[in-house]
Structure 1
Amino acid sequence: MKILITNDDGISAPGIGKLAKLASHYGEVYVVAPHHNNSAVGHGITMRRSLKSYSTLMEGTQLAVSIDGTPADCVKYATAHLKIIPDLVLSGINDERNVGTDVLYSGTVSGAIEANLCGYPAMAISTTDSNFDVVVTYLPEILNKLLERPLRSDTTININFPSLAHPKGVKITTVGISRYEEVYVEDSEGHRLSGPLLDIDQSEETDVKSIMKGYITISPLKFKLDDDEQINELKNIF
């Protein structure tokens, strides 16, 4: 199996090194990741300047390259320029969870979804409070089960780990709502967005509620923006 790994925390972040080492037990590992931290860049790509690339060394990899671009750039660059044709794309390990509507902002999840758009199956892997040990302990069993069946190239498996050393279990979840008590804190350079996550009323089967209760969450994500019901209503109007 040929595995491409990216992230949004940058190639020097501890999570990507741990993921590369773990993934090396499943096949050939190729890493293409941002040169610098690209957290919360969403699905942005670089169009108006050239990308620079930098070779590096990483344990367990056939190739490790960083580029001064976004996670989505990394997947495009790896497949279109470096001609890496992966059987699976892994994005992570992100140092904070990516659940609920945070997946819309997440560079980690966007890197995985970009793989889907390019025709490759993908998984996004995130933890809570930089708890990488729980990922190293529990992710292999999860991967073994997921890899028993054919992987779908139109779906990202979004996996999130809680801060607990011993999670309560694994839950297959829907995507919830991530809402924050948003405030802008003044600092020497201006104002920085901050504020805690709010525990709003929503289904216990969402990834947001489940990870709060100490479960590992697995949510399949599929790129679909149009609304079937509204399409039929608008067709009747026009």
Structure 2
Amino acid sequence: MKILITNDDGIKAPGIHTLAQIVSNYGEVYIVAPHTNNSAVGHGITMRRPLKSYPDSIKGATLAIGVDGTPADCVKYALAHLKIKPDLILSGINDERNVGTDVLYSGTVSGAIEANLCGYPAMAISTTNSNFDIVKSYFPAIFEKLLSQTLLTDTTININFPSLEEPKGIKVATVGISRYDECYVEEQGGHRLSGPLIDIDQPEETDVKSIKNGYITITPLKFKLYDDDKIFELSKLF
């Protein structure tokens, strides 16, 4: 099996090195990731300048290349330019969880969804508070179970790990709402977005609540922006 890995924390981040070592036991690993940190860039791609690439070396990887672009750039670059044809594309391990509506901002999740848009199955893997040890302990078994199923090319499996040493279990969860008490703090002559997560009322089966309660969460994500009910309603109107 050929596995392509990207991330948004950058090719030097510890999470991508950890993931490469874990999945090198399951196949041939190729890494194409941002040359520098690209956290929270969402699904942006680079169109107005050429991309530059930088060869690297990562234990467990057959090939490692840093690209001065976004995670979505890296996936496109690996497939279209480097001609890597993986069986599976992984994104992570992000050093913070990507649950709830934060998946819309996440470069990690967007890298995986870009894989779907290009016709490849994908998983996004994130942990909480840089807790990579829990991923080392629990991800291999989760990965093997997922590999035993047919992986769909239009679905990203979004996996998140809590900050606990021992999780309470695994929950297949829906996407919740991530809302913050947002403020801008002065920094280096400007203002930086900050603010803690607000614990709003939402169902316990959401990924936001489940990971807060100490569970590993698994959420299948599918790219679909339209509303079937509203399409039906507007079709009658027009």
TM range (shorter): over 0.9
Aligned counterpart, 1:207: 207
Give the Å deviation of 1:188.
Answer: 2.0
User: How far did 1:104 drift?
Assistant: 0.1
Residue 80 of structure 1 corresponds to: 80
Distance in 2 (alpha carbons) for counterparts of 1:188 and 1:159:
35
Tell me if 1:186 matches 2:186: yes
Q: CA deviation at 1:78?
A: 0.2
CA deviations on 1:180-208 (whole Å, 9 max, x unpaired) are: 00010111230000000010000000000
Amino acid at match of 2:180: Y
> What is the aligned partner in structure 1 of residue 147 from structure 2?
147
Aligned ranges for residues 159-178 of structure 1 at < 5 Å? 159-178=159-178
Asked if 1:68 corresponds to 2:51, the answer is no
**Structure 1 length as normaliser, TM-score?**
0.99
Gaps of 5+ in 1: none
Shift in Å, 1:155: 0.2
Q: Per-residue CA shift, 1:72-109, capped at 9, x if unaligned? A: 00000000000001100000000000000000000000
Cα drift, residue 218 of structure 1: 0.2
The equivalent residue for 2:22 is: 22
- Other structure's SS at 2:179 match: coil
Q: Partners of 1:72 and 1:41 in 2: how far apart?
A: 10
SS for the counterpart of 2:75 is helix
- Supply the RMSD in Å over aligned alpha carbons: 0.4
| Partners of 1:192 and 1:65 in 2: CA distance | 31
1:237 aligns with 2:237: yes
1:42 aligns with 2:42: yes
Letter paired with 2:99: V
Give the count of matched residue pairs: 238
Residue 120 of structure 1: aligned partner: 120
What is the identity, as a one-letter code, of the residue corresponding to 1:144?
E
Aligned-partner Cα distance in 1 for 2:148–2:237: 47
Q: Take 2:38 and 2:188, find their aligned partners in 1: how far apart are those partners? A: 22
1:149 offset after TM fit, Å? 1.0
The corresponding residue for 1:57 is 57
Say whether 1:133 aligns with 2:106: no
- What fraction of aligned residue pairs are identical, expressed as a percent? 76
Task: For residue 180 of structure 2, give the secondary structure of its aligned residue in structure 1.
Answer: coil
Distance 1:179 1:37 in 2: 24
Give the match for residue 111 of structure 2: 111
| TM-score calculated relative to the size of structure 2 | 0.99
1 CA distance for matches of 2:59 and 2:118? 27
Distance 1:218 1:12 in 2: 26
Tell me by how many angstroms 1:36 deviates: 0.5
**Aligned equivalents of 1:87, 1:59: Cα separation in 2:** 20
Q: Deviations over 1:148-197 (max 9, x none)?
A: 01110000000000000100000000000000000101112300000000
Question: What residue is the counterpart of 1:197 in the other structure?
Answer: 197
Give the aligned residue type for 1:193. L
User: For structure 2, which runs of at least 5 residues remain unmatched after alignment?
Assistant: none
